[in-house]
Structure 1
Amino acid sequence: MQELPVLFMGHGSPMNIIEDNSFTRSVSQLGGKLVKPTAIMVISAHWLTKGTQVTCMTNPRTIYDFYGFPQELYQIKYPCLGAPKQAEAVIQAAGGAKITCDLEWGIDHAAWSVLKYLYPLADVPVFEMSLDILKSPQEHYNLAKELAPLRKEGVLIMASGNLVHNLRLAKFEHTYDEPYDWAVEADQQMKELLQQGDHAGLIRYEGLTASRLAIPTSEHYLPMLYAIALQKDGEGLTFTCDDIQNGSVSMRSFVIGA
């Protein structure tokens, strides 16, 4: 089977669910170019657990893990099937004991707000992987390395987060408000490290410029480490979006191997 690419997608504000903007258009355009996978595994910034888990249900619920937004958003569903067979394959690929099955979570907005544009018919089974809050960045990266065989088994791996993500300083009045200088600087530094394939520099993100402002908490940054861990030597990386929304949220997204 053809080896599938790996995606890192920004997801940003839930308003992207209903907005027509350069980010959402970039996701739709990417979806039109991708080979249809057997299943999609999403490493979600919005599912934090003790120990790594994968969703194993057949019919995952749409999770509205956001508050205070227009009622229209809460009426939208992403009625995809789950992928219990592929979830079990992930457990086996990682050695069985390292990852456990979950039958309660579902598909959160880090996943479906992007998949809505990537595969709008919801005709590809989807399952999620959580972020273990007890793991270090290096341990997340190491775990991702073990998932490489899935790329040859029809599973599209999509990590969903944001490289720069500071909601405390976000400007919610306008999606494309003027970005903070520190957000631009941090995003550009991460771009250069990604282009250089400097995974060690990205793992040690505390040393990045303005990291305390750009990455005040790590959950939106860590999914990116899963994506780059799956990058083979010499494998290309292409940016599909380089927006900064709400002043402090980088929507930088990329594809590895396409």
Structure 2
Amino acid sequence: MIPSLFIAHGAPLLAIENNEYTQFLNQLGKTMPKPKAVVLFSAHYESMVQKVSDVEEFDTIYDFGGFPEALYRIKYPAKGNQNITGEIKSLLSENGIPFEVDSTRGLDHGAWVVLRMLYPDADIPVISMSVNQRLKPEEHYQIGKSLSALREQDILIVGSGGTVHNLRAVKWEMDGKGTEQWAEDFDQWIEQHMTSWDTEALFNYESLAPNAAVAVPPYGKEHFIPIFYAMGAADDVKQGKLLHRSYRYGNLSHSVWQFG
């Protein structure tokens, strides 16, 4: 059974950079078993109701501004899979989770930056899923759990976001010059409770985790919550493993977690 993943997508510049983190993701895509499809929850796809894509071929969305022209020339023409979309609809219905089908939206950079590093040939079908930061962590977890059966078919479930992702706190001038302690403390707390599968603590991270209000600001929860969708998808195994962690700009974390 294929595991689920949480992958930090960092800043859009990752798409054209060659560094420790991009090299790790490139290698991860080569060493993992090739999935039948990828079901991806992106921090940049927000909706009050769970959205499920039913797209024949995705457009590439450039949901950012002020970056080098090379970023806007990137295309990631992944195809969808109507049968897998149908399975997801059935699983959500069986678990009483309201949803809507979206047949027009392309892939935002939270999706294509990650997918392009894992699978540069865009030869694996993708189902795009929205996130809803107004839900409770346990509700995100339950949505992921409802899809756990897909892993038995070698369908990879990915949450794309970031554990420490506060653009008002990043120190651009600190890139490559160390990491602020508050960010490391938060990530180490997350690691402790992820590896022990302490969902009670994790669901209450806002009041229990050190520096949570800075690491996951009220206006930026959408980047943290994808980890709960990915974690829930491995509820049958309850094993979490940190595969990679590094930092940019003083505190922007690049974490990759494997569940299951």
Partner of 1:165: 165
User: 2: CA distance between counterparts of 1:40 and 1:63?
Assistant: 18
User: Mean alpha-carbon deviation: is it higher for 134-143 or for 27-36?
Assistant: 134-143
AA paired with 1:211?
A
User: 1: CA distance between counterparts of 2:128 and 2:236?
Assistant: 26
User: 2: CA distance between counterparts of 1:106 and 1:200?
Assistant: 35
User: 1: CA distance between counterparts of 2:184 and 2:166?
Assistant: 13
More helix by share: 2
Kindly indicate whether the alpha-carbon contact (under 8 Å) linking 1:167 and 1:248 is maintained by their aligned counterparts in 2. Answer: no
Q: Deviations over 1:13-60 (max 9, x none)?
A: 011101111111111111111111121110110001110001111011
How many Å apart are 1:233 and its aligned residue?
5.5
Evaluate the alpha carbon distance shift between residue 172 and residue 205 of structure 1 in structure 2; reply closer, same or farther with a 3 A threshold: same
> Do structure 1's residue 179 and structure 2's residue 182 form an aligned pair?
no
RMSD: 1.6
User: 1: CA distance between counterparts of 2:124 and 2:161?
Assistant: 21
Evaluate the alpha carbon distance shift between residue 233 and residue 98 of structure 1 in structure 2; reply closer, same or farther with a 3 A threshold: closer
- Out of 239, 248, 253, which is 1:250 matched to? 253
Partner of 1:90: 88
Partner of 2:44: 46
Evaluate the alpha carbon distance shift between residue 220 and residue 210 of structure 1 in structure 2; reply closer, same or farther with a 3 A threshold: same
Corresponding residue pairs, total: 255
Kindly indicate whether the alpha-carbon contact (under 8 Å) linking 2:9 and 2:110 is maintained by their aligned counterparts in 1. Answer: yes
Partner of 1:231: 234
TM alignment of 1:126-145, pairs within 5 A: 126-145=126-145
Partner of 1:240: 243
Kindly indicate whether the alpha-carbon contact (under 8 Å) linking 2:138 and 2:203 is maintained by their aligned counterparts in 1. Answer: yes
User: 1: CA distance between counterparts of 2:206 and 2:99?
Assistant: 27
User: 2: CA distance between counterparts of 1:42 and 1:176?
Assistant: 30
How many Å apart are 1:130 and its aligned residue?
0.2
Consecutive unaligned residues in structure 2, runs of 5 or more: none
Evaluate the alpha carbon distance shift between residue 150 and residue 104 of structure 1 in structure 2; reply closer, same or farther with a 3 A threshold: same
User: 1: CA distance between counterparts of 2:60 and 2:110?
Assistant: 11
Partner of 2:102: 102
AA paired with 1:121?
D
Partner of 2:215: 214
TM-score, L = length of structure 2: 0.93
